[in-house]
A and B are shown apart, each in its own frame.
Chain A
Amino acid sequence: MEILGNLGLGLVTAGSLSNLLYCFLGVFLGTAIGVLPGLGPTATIAMLLPVTFGLPSESALIMLAGIYYGAQYGGSTTAILVNLPGESSSVVTALDGYQMARQGKAGRALATAAIGSFFAGTVSTILVALFAPPLAELALRFGPAEYFSLMVLGLVASIVLANGSLLHAIAMIVLGLLLGMVGSDVNSGTARYTLGLPELEDGIGFVIVAMGAFALGEIISNLEDESGRSVMLEKVTGLMPTREDWARIWAPILRGTALGSLLGILPGGGAMLASFAAYSLEKKVSRTPEAFGKGAIEGVAGPESANNAGAQTSFIPMLTLGIPSNPVMALMIGAMVIQGIQPGPSVMSEQPKLFWGIIVSMWLGNLMLLVLNLPLIGLWVRMIRVPYHYLFPAILVFCTIGVFSLNNTTFDVYLMGLFGLLGYVFRKLDCEPAPMLLGFILGPMMEEYLRRALLISKGDLTIFIARPISAVMLVLVLLLLLTVLAPTVRRKREEAFQEVG
């Protein structure tokens, strides 16, 4: 049982007193920031990222993973209590969760979310431990052609799954790829698109792009309409689900976990898609579909389990291939690079302590969430009650100090302002910034692999179809594009997003 030994190694790493502390700190801070209305996991992680710079690499990544789960759970809490989902993945939870809260069942909705998330977290941690090693082994045989095709597949999948117009999703990815080109070219040393500014020679920091486009852009769009932000909260009582609740939630939790784990592995998938899909599934199998949207507990249990499972399994492609499947994983990869770790299949063999430590800490983090959240609900409620006009200047302060501390230069702060402006403008035009961030991270990698693949083949483009694994991926790309362009699927996809949106 090699896996037990590996998990044991992980337990030793993640279970050390200091790492437990960082895991706890991450979960706590993540939840605390995540419950603040209008701050999703991406913005939360970008904001808290600089805090982890001084830590050893294992502790930093364990803490970041903790922040992620915390932020996710915090977002659900806000969605249930005040109907203000922080990010798209908790939009679905708000549908029935908020209705339950209005009927005085807030405590039971919160407990259902916590229990569902914990169960899903446990199962998907085991899945990560089981499937990551063989996948990493397979990935070791990948050459540049395979990597390039895989990234194309990832980007195309994220286009298909993106919410909204296909054209804009493609364009935002290309824009991200272009922005990734800024800086010195690795091969020739030519400074590209630096406008003669020495500060741009190392490229644009991804934290700057993320904070600008997500945090700043979000603040400005939240300020568009300040009415309806008055938060009225009852006292949360009756935390334990009743016997009848248990009978209703166990099946949705199982289904949500299965669906979420599967969708999380897909490039471009992750938590958001998982929760949307789980909600429609629950509605379909339910004998009382008309109860959905009016406080059906299944509508909380399914999506909440699914989004946590998806959040967890989206670590699989990140840890084994070094390829981000969503903006949060893109941030994790950025964090690894800052820590001096090259993400990819070799992480598992070269840094087993780090690799297994992260996996075990996933489960520990979920356990902490369960233990932490229900007793501390009073604290979270108090945080949600902080009015937004006190909140956003503080968020801005953390962002500016955080960005400044990256390289200790005010140039980065100006740059963040520019991306804030862009982020808001694109939001106004219905162009989502998430695909841009994905393209931004993948841009330099894609160029590098493309160059290497074609150098090996002496410019022969057939290398991408001559190598079997690469060919399979390109066929998948083609299939994805064909299905999404087919009129019936297109209509279905729009319906699916409309139904919950």
Chain B
Amino acid sequence: MTRIASPKDFWAGILYAGFGLAALWLGRHYPIGSTGRMGPGYFPLALGALMMLLGLASLVRSFLVAGSPVGIVAWKALALIIGANCLFAWLLPRAGAVIALTALILASGAASRQFHLGWRNLAIALGLTLACVLVFIKGLGVPMPILGSAFGF
């Protein structure tokens, strides 16, 4: 059995090929037209095919040329940062900016090893939230609800 010599190239290749395939599949009905009169499908499908070829090249290389392993993935930080970001987006219209921002700060803050839930951090989170509400909503007029639909607004 052949071994993967370069895991980084291997996974990058999978991603590229995946994006290429997706571009070709999703674009399969776009009219291609001719070189002189390109349809909406011409350029993207050409790119999709190229993307797939590059992915294959990276896959082939991953078996031939030695490379470094992927290394440690910060799963906790990844999940908490992206999660906090989406939590904010979900909470904003429903609970409003005050709750959404506080949740964002505390949830993302938990990604750090230095984090512990205490009065001090809670106060910092609330302080930052209030400052943002004042600057962005009151000051710059960003149309975010201070309290969301759950409060009957």
Q: Which residues of A contact B (CB under 8 A)?
A: 51, 54, 167-168, 170-171, 174-175, 177-178, 181, 185, 187-188, 190, 192-193, 195, 216, 219-221, 223-224, 226, 387-390, 392-394, 396-397, 400-401, 404-405, 408, 410-411, 413-414, 416-417, 420-421, 424-426, 428-431, 446-447, 450-451, 454-455, 457-461
Chain A, interface SS category: helix
Q: Which residues of B contact A187 (CB under 8 A)?
A: 40
- Cβ-Cβ contact count across A and B, 8 Å cutoff: 182
The answer to whether B82 touches A405 (Cβ under 8 A) is no
Q: A167-B57, A387-B114 are in contact. Are A400 and B35 (CB under 8 A)?
A: no
Rounded to whole angstroms, the CA-CA distance of A411 and B85 in the bound complex is 11
CA distance A167 to B58 in the complex (A): 7
Count residues on chain B whose CB falls below 8 Å from chain A CBs: 69
Q: Do residues A421 and B82 form an inter-chain contact, with CB atoms below 8 A?
A: yes
By the criterion CB–CB under 8 Å, are A447 and B43 in contact? Answer: yes
Beta-carbon contact of B132 and A397 below 8 Å: yes
Question: What residues of chain B lie closer than 8 Å to A397, measured between beta carbons?
Answer: 101, 104-105, 128, 132
- Which of A394, A400, A401, A455 is within 8 Å of B36, CB to CB? A455
Residue contacts A-B, CB under 8 angstroms, 5 given: A168-B58, A178-B19, A396-B81, A396-B104, A455-B36
Question: Which of A175, A396, A446 lies in contact with B85, CB distance below 8 A?
Answer: A396
Q: Does B153 contact A (CB under 8 A)?
A: no
Please, how many angstroms separate the alpha-carbon atoms of A387 and B73 in the complex?
A: 22
CA separation between A193 and B27, bound complex, in Å?
7
Choose among A168, A388, A411 the residue with the greatest number of B CB atoms under 10 Å from its CB.
A168
Q: Residue B84 at the A interface, CB < 8 A?
A: yes
Given contacts A221-B74, A224-B74, contact A177 B47 (CB under 8 A): yes
Q: Which 5 A-B pairs have the closest CB atoms?
A: A459-B36, A389-B112, A223-B77, A413-B89, A185-B40
Contacts of B68 in A (CB 8 A): 430
| Chain A residue at smallest Cβ distance from B50 | A174
Cβ A429 vs Cβ B70 within 8 A: yes
Contacts of A447 in B (CB 8 A): 43
Is B113's beta carbon under 8 Å from chain A?
A: yes
Out of B8, B16, B30, B136, name the residue touching A405 (CB < 8 Å): B136
Q: A178 touching B81 by the CB < 8 A rule?
A: no
In the assembled complex, the Cα of A458 lies from the Cα of B37 at a distance in Å of 8
Q: Determine if B51 and A175 form an interchain contact, defined as CB atoms under 8 angstroms apart.
A: yes
